[in-house]
Amino acid sequence: MTFELEHTAAGSAARAGRFTTDHGVVETPVFMPVGTAASVKGVFHRDLVQAGARIILANTYHLYLRPGMDVIEAAGGVHRFCTWDRPMLTDSGGFQVFSLAQCRKLTDEGCRFSSHIDGSRHLFTPESVIDTQRTIGADIMMAFDECPPGDSPRDYAAKSLRLTHRWLERCFDRYASTSPKYGHGQSLFPIVQGCTYPDLRAESALFARQFDADGYAIGGLAVGEPAPVMYEMIEIVNDILPRDKPRYLMGVGTPVNILEAIDRGVDMFDCVMPTRNGRNGMLFTSEGVINIRNLKWREDFSPIDPAGHCFVDTLYSKAYLRHLAVSGEMLAAQIASLHNIAFYMWLVDEARRRILDGTFAQWKRGMVVKLTERL
C-alpha cells in the first residue's frame, strides 16, 4: 500500500490524498460503508459502486464466528467470497469482543470470550487475530487492541494502554513473520488509544508511529465523550502521527463529526450510522436531517433530496418512502440506506474537491450549519 498526499487546505489541516492497494486506488478523504459480515445490510454491491463506494469494511470477530475461516479460505478469501473486487479493510474484532462477547476474561495472553451466537468459548490473541485476518484477506488489517470504556478512570486507561502496546508489538511480529495467502498485499495499521487523557493519547501516538506502518488508526472515540473532547484528542494525535501516511478515525460518525475530523487532518472514516439510521427512518440530506416517519411527509411528493446525490433521491418521493417505512416494507430500509451511503460519499468527495480548489474552510462552515438542521 502506498499513500500520496496531494494537497493540504489553507488555514486547515484538511488533506486530499490517495492510497493505492492491489485492489485499486482510493482517493481521500474517504468514507467506508460497514459490511460487518461481508455485507452492507440491505444494499447490493452494484448499488454501492453506483453510490460511490471505493472501499468497504468487514469485521474479523463476526467472520471468524460465522461462516468461519474454513469457509473463507475455501472461497479464496473475502473478496471472492462476497464478490467485491475493490479494496477492503478488516477491523481486528477487539471492539466487538469487548462490547458483544459474554463472560470475557482479559489477560496478557489475549482475551477469552463466549460467542454471542451460541456461547462457544474462544481465545483471541494478537497472533491469532493476525492469522485470522491473513485468512480473510482484506487489503488493510487492524492491530488487536483493548477498547476501554470512554469513561474509564485514568488508572484503568493507562493500564489498558500498556496492554494495547504490548499486543501491538506482538501483532507486528506476527505480521512480519507471515505472508498474504491470496496473491495480493496486506497492510497492518496500529490503533492509537488512550481514552480522553491527552498525555495517554500522545504517548500512544508516539508508540504507534515507531512501527513505520502504511497507515494509522485512532480508536476509542465517539463512545460517549463530548464532541469537543473528541476533536481535541484528534488534534493531539494528528500532530504526532506521520504526515505522509493516512489517518483512519474508527467508527465516526455523524456528517458533522466527519467534516470536523477532516478539518483536523483525518483521511479515512467508517460508521454504521448511514445504514442503521436509514433502517430506522433517519435520512441525512444536503438541507438537514429528516425523520421520514413524521406525518409532515405524508403528502410531500418532492424528491428525497433535491440535490440528487443518489439515483434513488429523484426516483422516489418523501411521501412514498414514508408510506413504505410506516408500512414496514423492506424496500424502505433499502432506499434509505442507499440514500444515506450516497450522501456520505458525496460529503467526503465534496470535501476533497473543496480542499483541492481552496474553498474548504468556507464551505465547511456553511455545511455544518445545514447538517445540524432537523427538517
For residue 267, which phi and psi values (nearest 5 degrees)? -110, -30
d(CA 367, CA 365): 6
Cell numbers representing residue 249 in the block: 478515525
Q: How far is CA 282 from CA 91, 253, 278, 333, in A?
A: 26, 14, 5, 10
Q: How far is CA 164 from CA 110, 125, 143, 149, 301, in A?
A: 10, 11, 9, 14, 52
Per-residue pLDDT tens listing for the chain (375 residues): 999 999 999 899 999 999 999 999 999 999 999 999 999 999 999 999 999 999 999 999 999 999 999 999 999 999 999 999 999 999 988 788 777 656 678 899 999 998 989 999 999 999 999 999 999 999 999 999 998 888 899 999 999 999 999 999 999 999 999 999 999 999 999 999 999 999 999 999 999 999 999 999 999 998 889 999 999 999 999 999 999 999 999 999 899 999 999 999 999 999 999 999 999 999 999 999 999 999 999 999 999 998 888 888 989 999 999 999 999 999 999 999 999 999 999 999 999 999 999 999 999 999 999 999 999
d(CA 173, CA 127): 8
d(CA 171, CA 8): 32
Helix axes 154-177, 198-209, angle to 10 degrees: 10
Q: How far is CA 54 from CA 20, 48, 147, in A?
A: 11, 8, 27
The answer to whether residues 129 and 142 touch, using CB atoms and an 8 Å cutoff, is no
pTM of the predicted protein model: 0.96
Active site residues: 91, 270
Cell numbers representing residue 347 in the block: 460529503
d(CA 332, CA 338): 10
The answer to whether residues 88 and 133 touch, using CB atoms and an 8 Å cutoff, is no
Which residue stretches of 112-239 are H helix?
A: 126-136, 154-177, 198-209, 227-238
The answer to whether residues 138 and 88 touch, using CB atoms and an 8 Å cutoff, is yes
Pairing of strands 111-114, 121-124: antiparallel
